[in-house]
Amino acid sequence: MGQAGEVGLFELIEALDEIVRRASPPPLAPGPTAAGPAGSAKAAPDSEAPPAPGEPARGAGDLKGALVQGLIDVAGLAAPLVAVEDVARGIVDVVLRVSSADRALLVLRGEAASEPEIRVGRDRRGAALDDLPGGVSVPVGRGRDAIGSIAVEGTRLGAAELDALRALAQQAAASLRTARELARATADPLTSLLARPHFRRLLEDAAGRAREGPRVPFAVLLLDVDDFKLVNERHGHAAGDQVLREMGAVLRSAVRPPSACCRYGGETFAVLLPGAGAAAAAEAAEKVRAAVVSRRFAEPRLRVTVSVGFAAAPEQGRDPDEVLRRADQALFRAKATKDKACGYTPEIGPAAERRDRLAGVLTGDFARDHDRVRTLLETIAAVNAARDLGELLTVAVDRFVEATGAERGALMLAEGPRRRLGTVVARDRRGRALSPAERFSRTIPERVLAAGRPVCLVDAFEGDGGGDGEGGGGARPAAGDAGAPSHSVAELNLRTVVCVPLATKDRPLGVLYADSRTGPRSGGLEASNLPFFEGLARQVALAIENARLKARLAYEGGAIEV
């Protein structure tokens, strides 16, 4: 005999024999409305009701074959990276396929008092339902070990079909328990969506299939909850957690398998759409946006909106990182107006600025977050341990080049009354000094200094848009974009550029700059890393100010300018 909740071999044989013996099922009249933990349905009777005249009986062989296939299907529903709700939906689908029920509802109780129950139901036309007042129900699991119930409703349900339903319910209990265990191992604990590392695995699998012939497209949605910081500030972190928890429920409802949803980090979510092109991604993005805006979240019933960016392969990229990067860029553009879905287009341009200065420093990817925090701490220690300003600037450039994975980098300071930028230190990725006369982009650092905002150009002139932007072929920048490609970027044949401001609260000091002609070796030069680079630049700026202050104190009567 199997474990509690499972259907053992001998039990299955006995159940099938009993179903064959009672294979001329009389119809059961719907039971009266009865509220209860099983979802407003009455318990199924153990004895047969008298047959109704004129009702056709279901053949024993048909029912036996359907039950065997149903048990096999239910047993196979629980799998790694499959949500518990999706397993529940699959069970309801099997129940409707095996029985003559017109409607079915599965209610799964929460494992803890604070955990909400899961209700999944539908009729044969696919209309969703969350209550079945006139149905009959069977427990999912045995006795005190029952974890929920399955309720069905129909005018032709017979006792033999209810026996089959009981057998299915026991296997459903085993599958749901397995799904919960797998979910705990792969899910974000707050939202019950996939954790980022497991989402990444699915994304790489989809990209692998896309590289095989014939090409199988896939798309990625990235969503940010708009003004989430204000929710925490005005209503408390408990309300913020509830908003994120309910966002998980909205995504699971709006996006069905084989699509996968993930909490990407903080208030950012990701959705993988296997087999979807750009048009399908646009439809899914708008569906998710509309589902969020139509819901009232937490207490006191907050109105929440999301910004959505999306990109599809192979139209907007050929590998996972490329598609993610362009969905990220589209998301930044969507957040400019909020409550908007925006797909990647060449007109967006490669320079997409992250508006939320805090988002992205900690991403939910534990390995990456550990490396970022370690790099920040090591940079702070190194620049503060420098013996003089020259050593400090050298250490800062080396650390920036290492963090970005760029080929070379420079630190430029604003000098003179007109605050013109000049290169003070230039280094390559091997830690070798470059001449201050080394040529870098001219206009991008000047724009960053003037605007006080970072810029990341990614694949600036790869020719994917055929635009006639300022820098020549490739993607055309949006009007007024501080990070638009420049003539010097085209002349130097730079593929990627990142530039972040060096500034204190009082004034801008200069910029940290890095670029690459062949692409970064570590994937660091991408827009999603800008908040991290800004954090590093702020620490460098503070160290520069401290070094200048020490120099002024050491040399009375004159300020030391670099």
Domain containing residue 105: CATH number: 3.30.450
Select from 121, 154, 186 the last residue of a domain.
186
Residue 10, judged by CB atoms within 10 A of its CB (0-12, 13-18, 19+), counts as exposed
Q: Which of 504, 509, 505 is nearest to 413 (CA)?
A: 509
Select from 159, 186, 213 the last residue of a domain.
186
Greatest mean pLDDT range, 11-15, 283-287, 335-339: 283-287
Residue 356 lies in a domain: no
Residue 400 lies in a domain: yes
pLDDT at 165 over 80: yes
pLDDT at 22 over 60: no
**What is the reported pLDDT for 16?**
52
**Strands, E assignment, 127-253:** 136-140, 148-153, 218-225
**What is the reported pLDDT for 66?**
80
Shared domain check, 382 and 255: no
DSSP symbols for 356-407: -SSTTSS-S-HHHHHHHHHHHHHHHHHHHH-SSHHHHHHHHHHHHHHHHT-S
Residue 358 lies in a domain: no
Shared domain check, 156 and 223: no
Shared domain check, 169 and 24: yes
pLDDT at 240 over 50: yes
* Average pLDDT of the residues in 340-362: 62
Give the separation between CA 134 and CA 52, rounded to whole angstroms: 19
Residue 38 lies in a domain: yes
Shared domain check, 205 and 67: no
| Structural domain range at position 111 | 9-186
**What is the reported pLDDT for 428?**
94
Residue 559 lies in a domain: no
pLDDT in tens, 44-55: 655 444 444 434
When comparing pLDDT for 505 and 166, which is higher?
Answer: 166
**What is the reported pLDDT for 464?**
38
* Average pLDDT of the residues in 496-518: 87
Asked whether 537 and 512 are in contact (CB, 8 A), the reply is yes
**What is the reported pLDDT for 292?**
94
Shared domain check, 288 and 372: no
* Average pLDDT of the residues in 454-465: 61
Shared domain check, 512 and 399: yes
Q: Give the containing element (helix H, strand E) for 306.
A: strand 306-313
**What is the reported pLDDT for 34?**
34
Residue 359 lies in a domain: no
* Average pLDDT of the residues in 346-362: 51
First to last CA, the chain: 81
pLDDT at 17 over 70: no
Q: How confident is the model at residue 360 (pLDDT cuts 50, 70, 90)?
A: very low
pLDDT at 72 over 50: yes
**What is the reported pLDDT for 232?**
87
Q: How confident is the model at residue 63 (pLDDT cuts 50, 70, 90)?
A: confident
DSSP symbols for 246-291: HHHHHHHHHS-TT-EEEEEETTEEEEEEET--HHHHHHHHHHHHHH
Residue 361 lies in a domain: no
Shared domain check, 142 and 30: yes
Q: Count the alpha carbons within 13 Å of 15 in the hemisphere toward its beta carbon.
A: 23
Give the separation between CA 530 and CA 47, rounded to whole angstroms: 68
Q: CATH number of the domain at 445, please.
A: 3.30.450.40
475, β-bridge pairs: none
**What is the reported pLDDT for 365?**
55
Select from 186, 220, 252 the last residue of a domain.
186
Give the separation between CA 75 and CA 7, rounded to whole angstroms: 10
When comparing pLDDT for 537 and 25, which is higher?
Answer: 537
Residue 451 lies in a domain: yes
**Helix segments in 411-511, DSSP class H:** 443-451, 487-491
**What is the reported pLDDT for 318?**
74
DSSP class of 416: T
Shared domain check, 202 and 163: no
pLDDT at 59 over 60: no
Give the separation between CA 139 and CA 523, rounded to whole angstroms: 52
Radius of gyration of the chain (CA): 30
Query: Which tokens sit at 20?
Result: 């064959």
Q: Which residues contact 427 (CB under 8 A, 6 or more apart)?
A: 394, 397, 398, 401, 408, 409, 410, 433, 434
Shared domain check, 525 and 409: yes
* Average pLDDT of the residues in 205-211: 82
How many Å separate Cα 117 from the centre of its chain? 23
* Average pLDDT of the residues in 169-173: 92
Give the separation between CA 421 and CA 544, rounded to whole angstroms: 16
When comparing pLDDT for 502 and 197, which is higher?
Answer: 502
When comparing pLDDT for 480 and 445, which is higher?
Answer: 445
pLDDT at 338 over 80: yes
* Average pLDDT of the residues in 26-50: 46
pLDDT in tens, 436-451: 788 998 889 999 998 8
Q: What does pLDDT average to over the chain?
A: 77
**What is the reported pLDDT for 520?**
52
Shared domain check, 144 and 28: yes
CA distances from 88 to 118, 148, 163, 177 (A): 8, 11, 20, 11
pLDDT at 80 over 80: no
Shared domain check, 257 and 142: no
pLDDT at 172 over 90: yes
Q: CATH number of the domain at 242, please.
A: 3.30.70.270
Residue at 440: amino acid letter: F
Shared domain check, 322 and 202: yes
Give the separation between CA 337 and CA 332, rounded to whole angstroms: 10
Q: Which of 116, 111, 531 is nearest to 361 (CA)?
A: 531
Domain count, the chain: 3
